[in-house]
Every structure is written in C-alpha cells, then in structure tokens.
C-alpha cells in the first residue's frame, strides 16, 4: 500500500489516538526527506503542497513527479494532500492529477477578507461533492488562520466558533477541518512566547466534542526553533527572531483531538540550514547535487524527531 486518503489515514490515527504530521514540500528533495523520515520511523505520513509553490513552473510536472516518487515507498502509508486550495478549479486539477486529499480554503474571499459562513459552506460543499464521488478526502477551514502561506501578507486571526464548526461540518460533509485557534502561518508568528491566551487549545476540545467524526487540523504549527534559525543565520541568512508553537502545545493539541498537524516552515528552515551550511563549508562548490542532498539530510533529521513527537512513528503496521 502506498497512497491512501486522509480519511483512511486519520481514521486509524483517531482510533489509536496519535497525530500525523502533514509536511509542506516545495521540491522533490523535500518530499524525499519526508518519505525517507517516514520509512526510517515506520510512520504513516501526509505529504502536502501548495499549488504553484515550487520551482518547476508547472503544477502538473511537479505533481506527476511527486506521485512517481511516492511509488518508490510502497511500505509507507501516504496521503498526498493539496494545501489551501484557493478555488474549486484548483481542487479539481489536484484530484485529476491523483491527489488523495484536497483542502478547499473558503475562509477568505477574493480580496483576502474573511468570507461569510454561507459562501464558505457553498464552495466547500461543491468540492466535497466532486471529491467524494471520486474517493478523495476534503479538508475545509473555519475561522481565519493568521499570517500568510508565503509571508507576503498577514491575514487577521478570526477564531473558529464551536457551534459554527458543528453547523459547517453538517452542511458540508468535510472529512477534516482546519480550525483557527490562534496559530498563524509562516516564519514570523508570535513576538512573545505563546501562552494559553494566544493559543486557544480549549477551543480544540470544545470543537472536537461537537464533531467527533471529523478530523481536526492544526495549521501554522511550526515551532521555529532557535537552533534552526541560528544555523541559517550563521551561514549568511537573516531570519528574524520569532516564537512558534512549542512542542508541548502540539502534543497537548493531539491529546485534545487534533489529528493532522501542519508544518511547513520548520521543514523549510531545516532544509535551508543544510543547504547554506554545505555552501558555506565549500564556497567554491557549484554542484546542486551536493548542497541539495545536504538540505535533504538536514530536513530528514528534523522530520524524524517530529514523527516521534506526534506519535505516528511505529504506526505504519496499523495500515497493512
């Protein structure tokens, strides 16, 4: 078995009460780091990617390569997930390409402002009908997770409301729900250590109790470790200080009902640290094979640690 849906992957995780990391990839070597880490730790895993956010110039080229790569890991249960699909059309393209899960992000309107509940329901429902007819899982978003996927804008955080979450799930039939509980996307999150008043994990518990068959997703949950930022900055980077979501908070969230833990920036930082260190160690080198391999190995080390932390390590046999 290789490709499974998020519904299957997360149903098993819910039954055994563990979390599954969904790691953003922007390149094939990053995807290989995720899959190698999953293989090394015997983990199920979610590989996720944003449309257009890669160096290949064409989603269909990158997505085809991702699927071909996943074929090389028959022992790893993997869901291939579209992160933050902006439109129905983008989700349809991903489903046609072979993704087993898509996210339709109906939380913002075309101008980037919070969308109405009704328009979010309408667009999400269209994707659910199309995807479920084809055996593909769907994630929706309620409330607005702050920050931005690429750091260029900063959407306001609008927290998810438990009663609305229950109504949203009933009206759309989503398999997974991204809930805004105070996290934000990107490499710049909190300017002070997050406290209970910033990250509203109590909301996770309230929502989980109301939608027991829908898998909750924590977006924007990178930790932004000092150690990774220091490695990048020691080799010419200039990544400003910021606090992310502490490891203990992620473990607490899983205990309260979060099943899918989205992490992009930590993986990007670890990969970039490896690349920068390789280039700094040998300034005359111009061989991408060497520095990209260093990025992959650096990322894999971090990903293995996260798979152990989330409890997915050692769980692949549950899918066989």
**Catalytic site residues?**
83
Contact segment (CB under 6 A) with ligand 13P among 123-131, 227-235, 251-259, 262-270 equals: 262-270
| 24 contributes a contact to ligand 13P by CB under 6 A | yes
In 3D space, the residue among 241, 231, 161, 175 whose CA is nearest the CA of residue 203 turns out to be: 161
Indicate the residue among 59 and 83 with the shorter CB distance to ligand 13P.
83
The CA distance from 290 to 140, in Å, is: 39
DSSP letter at 198 equals T
Per-position x/- string for 175-214, each x denoting binding to ligand 13P as judged by CB under 6 A, each - no binding? ----------xx----------------------------
Distance of closest approach, residue 108 Cβ to ligand 13P, in angstroms:
13
The CA distance from 179 to 164, in Å, is: 11
Indicate the residue among 24 and 300 with the shorter CB distance to ligand 13P.
24
**Cβ 108 vs Cβ 115: under 8 Å:** yes
Those residues with Cβ within 8 angstroms of residue 284's Cβ, 6 or more apart along the chain or in another chain: none
User: Residue 21's CB: how many other CB atoms inside 10 A?
Assistant: 27
Find out whether 132 is annotated in a ligand binding site. Answer: no
Considering only residues 5, 100, 222, 300, which one is a binding residue for ligand 13P as defined by CB under 6 A?
222
| 83 contributes a contact to ligand 13P by CB under 6 A | yes
Distance of closest approach, residue 82 Cβ to ligand 13P, in angstroms:
10
Considering only residues 5, 262, 298, 312, which one is a binding residue for ligand 13P as defined by CB under 6 A?
262
Q: Which stretches within the chain are classed as H helix?
A: 6-16, 28-41, 59-70, 88-97, 117-133, 162-172, 201-210, 226-234, 247-256, 265-281, 288-310
Report the relative pairing of strands 258-263 and 137-142 from DSSP bridges: unpaired
Find out whether 185 is annotated in a ligand binding site. Answer: yes
Q: Which parts of this chain interact with ligand 13P (CB under 6 A)?
A: 24, 83-84, 185-186, 219-222, 262-265
Q: Residues comprising the binding site for Zn(2+)?
A: 84, 105, 141, 185, 219
């Amino acid at each position: 078995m290789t490709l499974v849906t998020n519904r299957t992957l997360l149903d098993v995780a819910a039954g055994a009460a563990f979390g599954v990391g969904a790691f953003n990839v922007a390149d094939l070597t990053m995807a290989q780091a995720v899959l190698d880490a999953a293989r090394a730790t015997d983990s199920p895993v979610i590989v996720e990617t944003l449309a257009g956010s890669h160096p290949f110039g064409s989603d269909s080229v990158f997505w085809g390569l991702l699927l071909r790569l996943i074929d090389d890991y028959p022992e790893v249960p993997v869901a291939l997930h579209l992160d933050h699909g902006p439109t129905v059309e983008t989700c349809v393209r991903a489903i046609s390409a072979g993704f087993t899960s898509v996210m339709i992000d109906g939380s913002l309107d075309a101008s980037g402002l919070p969308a109405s509940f009704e328009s979010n329901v309408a667009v999400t429902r269209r994707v659910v009908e199309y995807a479920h007819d084809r055996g593909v899982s769907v994630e929706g978003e309620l409330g607005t997770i702050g920050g931005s996927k690429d750091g260029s804008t900063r959407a306001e955080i609008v927290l998810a409301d438990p009663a609305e979450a229950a109504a949203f799930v009933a009206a759309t039939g989503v398999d997974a729900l991204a809930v805004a509980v105070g996290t934000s996307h990107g490499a710049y999150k909190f300017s002070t250590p997050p406290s209970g008043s910033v990250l509203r994990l109590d909301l996770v518990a309230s929502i989980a109790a109301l939608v027991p068959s829908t898998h909750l997703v924590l977006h924007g949950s990178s930790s932004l470790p000092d150690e990774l930022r220091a490695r990048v900055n020691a080799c010419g980077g200039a990544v400003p200080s910021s606090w992310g979501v502490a490891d203990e908070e992620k473990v607490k969230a899983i205990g309260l009902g979060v099943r899918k833990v989205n992490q992009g920036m930590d993986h990007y930082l670890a990969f970039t640290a490896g690349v920068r260190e390789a280039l700094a160690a040998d300034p005359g080198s111009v061989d991408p094979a060497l520095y990209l391999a260093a990025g992959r190995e650096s990322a894999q080390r971090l990903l293995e640690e996260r798979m152990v932390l989330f409890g997915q390590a050692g769980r692949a046999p549950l899918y066989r």
